[in-house]
Structure 1
Amino acid sequence: MAAAAPIPALEEAFADSPPLHQEILEYVSRNPQSLGLFQRISQYIIDTKQANADDRDGPATKRRKLETHPGSQIEIVSKSTLVAELSSQPSLLRIPDISFSIPQRKKFTLVLTTAALGAFNSNNSVEFGVHLNEVDYVACVPVPEKAAKQWNFAIFVKNSHGISDIATDPLLFTVTDTSPKGSAPAESGDIRQTIIATLNPILPINVAEPSVEIFRSLTANSYRKNEVSYHVKSHLGTKEGFLFFLKNAIIWGFKKPLFCFVFDSIESSSYSSITQRTFSLTIKTTVEFGGKEIEFSMIDQVEHPAIDDFLRRNQLKDASMAEARRAKIPSSLIKENTGAKSELQAAENEIAGIDQNDSDDDDDEDDDDYEEDSDRSDHTDASDSGDSDAEPTSKERIPRNLAEEELGSELEEVDNTDDDESGEEN
């Protein structure tokens, strides 16, 4: 019998057991169709050995971090368990060439079992993944500002929401509106529908998708004009991104850090930096989620009614006006400002043509300093016709009524005309 050709994966997997390695080679030479099976078994053994070696190195390396570029990492606890779940259990779904963005920007094969979801590299080994029982939120939303429709899947586990002090990366991958590669012609649905239909029965929660009943943008979709937009453009510092208002959560993406505000993590929300064109939305998280205030700025004013309606319906704005969160006024200021008009009231009075000083002081006949001035109008006219550079009194700074303030010089011309006519009659 001719010697069997060496198989690198087998040699590495069974390097510590040469007799078993040789027996497998002889079996494969008699049964060539079994080669693929033994290669997968060998790769599983290699991955398990590597993971066990990582675990034995101590606590510092037990949580393995995969570095892709500065500031990017994912933390996988007990990778040996994850590898075992993905390699030993039957695959419910296996889709090649899926574009991942987080934690690595690269194409991988997406593999889904009843216990885990992972990304496999070209060598059929696990790069990263998550245990499904640790997943607490999954969103599938349209990729904004693309002519061809694409969908982003964002998968969050504990501490991957972007708002915790001890943070890990979520999983983020993109699919198109096409059928999965290798699917039978009779199979219906696109990749997105296939993934959602497979995930929902085995996840603790269903995949969240946008809908017009939950939220819809009030800005027209300039990329696909006949479709509704579900996102709102905003900025996080200098980074431009998109807010999605979904069932039980608000998501901001899709540049790192990716934020997921589940409703239970939101203490309050508020508006600031309001201008004619834009405003900012600030979300404060609860103490359990870090107690941070994160501001999303440069949101178009057109979107305010839709956002405000979403926040009110889900009672996410009520806490912002809670008594406990209001600024406390020192007692000295309370005494000093007792009876003083608010700035808003003063503005309203001025617009309405109300001179509070006149009504309180000069026009009250019961006051001691009340002095009837029958020539008041003549005195006013004389003051108006005098030196324009003279310092006006406090009463003259306040317009008698809104019409006089707006018309200004036109009213003066009318007054001067009346005086001239009176002079001619005399």
Structure 2
Amino acid sequence: MSNQELEQWTRNVQAAFPDDLARRIILAPTLHPVTLPQLFEDIAQHVLSLHTPSTAQDTQPLSKKRKLEDNHAFTTTESALPKRETKPLSTLFECSDVSVQAPLRKKLKVALLYDSAAKEEGQIHLSNASTGEVEWGMEAKDVEQAFRLPVPEKQARQANFLLFPKPGAVDMQGHPAEPVLFVTNETTPGAGTISGEAVKEDDTYVSVTHRALDKWLSPHGKHVITPNAAEFASSIPQSHRKGEKAYHVKAHRGSKEGYLFFLENGVVFGFKKPLAFFPFSNIDSISYTSVLQRTFNLVIAAADSASAEVKEVEFSMLDQEDFAGIDAYVKRHGLNDASMAAQRRAKAYNVNKEKRAEANGDVENGAVEGDEVDVQTELQKAEQQLQDEEDEEEEDYEVSGGESEGEGGSSEEEEEYADEEVEEEYDEEEAEE
């Protein structure tokens, strides 16, 4: 099919079917065979609804999930598509009874599949352990980045595996792909719970999963990112694990409490939806606001991957003890510290320097003429402001006392000198008489 014929076919499909169904039809060549029966069933329901819309069966929503009756449906559907070359996928890794948090929230089997002939043709499946039905899936080539992050504030060691999809990626159901989040334990794998990947003597669920994900992503030039102290480690000790470093910073995004991780390729916020990843390439600036004695807020201005529009996301109530480590991370990676922007100064400190200077005709483009470029961090400026206020109070106290240098009473030496002058004048008067 030529490009012109393909474009015409796409327009015909879009004109004939509803938007969601048309998109799934257009993406059909990229879908896994397991999902194709559902697509054809929905097409049939749509066609029937055009002829007999009053029947109860025809009014069922197209998005309603239906289980496959048996494997025969898969075989029949696949044989009905001779033009589509389907390749058998091998199991690289499979782990049952995994606690999945997103995009579904239930216990599921996690499987990493690949084509033995072309390993870049990989997929991740989340399936029902008892029925084998694949409830969600995504192509390996659509994974933007993968992370292994420790689960904070848990007595038992656990790790969250977090996969972010590329902008515009779709899942195997034809919907916009969502991040994948599932939890594994730092315990020895139980018998029969893991298959595909060889389990070594000292392995845990975390280490086996990490190793399998690295193999699965390697054809696409990616690997699993983990936190390290060279990038950032919290200054706050963990009460339940003395001497062990923590790599998270507790923060709020609106009313939702979560954790920030400062990693080698960007900043991650989890583990409440919406999960967010801010790669260095998208970050426009990082700034600090509402700097108080014990907490401060962090504002990340980053370009939206889809629209390229720069949007600000504010994380509040970060502990002041982690300020130095975060600020060092920002400077080390050359991220723009926008804390000294005029609007930030006014919001954080209620400083009206710009307005006063403007009244005197000294402001141009938001800067006071003759002022030096201020490269202090916001915390340093807050300390400097407090020091300036204390100095002003001390000066006011000295002036109000009436005893400062050059004012009020004279010194003892001045009084003695004045007495001597009076005595000399008196002696001269007596000599004249």
Q: 1:67-87, CA deviations, whole angstroms, 9 ceiling, x for partnerless residues?
A: xxxxxxxxxxxxx9xxx9999
SS of residue paired to 1:200: helix
- Alignment of 1:49 with 2:37, yes or no, is yes
Counterpart amino acid of residue 37 in structure 2: K
What is the distance in 2 between the residues matched to 1:110 and 1:349? Answer: 60
The C-alpha deviation readout for 1:328-379, integer Å capped at 9, x for no partner, is: x89x93762479998x9999888767xxxxxxxxxxxxxxxxxxxxxxxxxx
CA distance in 2, matches of 1:281, 1:50: 45
Counterparts of 1:226-241 in structure 2, within 5 Å, are: 226-241=243-258
Secondary structure in structure 2 of the residue aligned to 1:213: coil
Question: Is 1:142 aligned to 2:150, yes or no?
Answer: yes
The AA in structure 2 aligned to 1:179 is T
Map residues 392-411 of structure 1 onto 2, 5 A cutoff: 402=394, 405=397
Contact kept in structure 1, 2:199 and 2:208, CA below 8 Å: no
Partner deviation per Cα, 1:281-337 (whole Å, 9 max, x = no partner): 1001125444210000111110001001111111122577799x999x89x937624
Q: How does 1:276-425 map to 2 (within 5 A)?
A: 276-286=293-303, 288-318=307-337, 333=358, 336-337=361-362, 402=394, 405=397
Larger Rg over CA atoms: 1
Q: Distance in 2 between matches of 1:320 and 1:217?
A: 22
| Equivalent residue number for residue 70 of structure 2 | none
**8 A Cα contact 2:287 2:337, kept in partner:** no
Larger deviation, residues 282-291 vs 253-262: 282-291
Asked whether 1:209 is paired with 2:226, we answer yes
Residues 1:47 and 1:129: Cα distance change in structure 2 (over 3 Å): closer
Are 1:130 and 2:138 matched, yes or no? yes
SS at match of 1:175: strand
Per-residue CA deviation, residues 8-67 of structure 1 (Å, 9 max, x unaligned), is: xxxxxxxxxxxxxxxxxxxxxxxxxxxxxxxxxxxx977541244346778xx9x9698x
Question: 2:193 aligned with 1:174, yes or no?
Answer: no
The offset of 1:411, in angstroms, is 6.5
Mapped pair 1:116 → 2:123: yes
Cα–Cα, structure 1 residues 107 and 275, in superposed 2: closer, same or farther, change >3 Å?
Answer: same
Identity of aligned residues (%): 34
Match status 1:198 vs 2:212: yes
Counterpart CA distance in 2 for 1:346 and 1:273 is 14
CA contact 2:301–2:313 (8 Å) conserved in 1: yes
Any idea what the Cα deviations from partners look like across 1:209-247, whole Å, max 9, x if unmatched? 011112100100122223110000111111111001111
Distance 2:239 2:388 in 1: 45
The CA distance in 1 between the partners of 2:389 and 2:201, in whole Å, is: 72
Runs of 5+ unmatched residues, structure 1: 1-43, 67-79, 354-398
Q: Provide the C-alpha distance between the structure 2 equivalents of 1:261 and 1:198, rounded to a whole number of angstroms.
A: 25
Matched, 1:103 2:103: yes
The TM-score normalised by the length of structure 1 is 0.60
SS in 2 for 1:180: coil
**Greater displacement, 44-53 / 259-268:** 44-53
How many residues align? The count is 305
| Cα separation, 1, equivalents of 2:64 and 2:332 | 40
- Superposed displacement of residue 193, structure 1: 1.2
Gaps of 5+ in 2: 1-31, 47-59, 66-77, 79-83, 115-121, 170-174, 347-353, 372-380, 420-433
* Pair 335,239 (structure 1): closer, same or farther in 2 beyond 3 Å: same
* Other-structure match for 2:72: none
- 1:151 has 2:159 as partner: yes
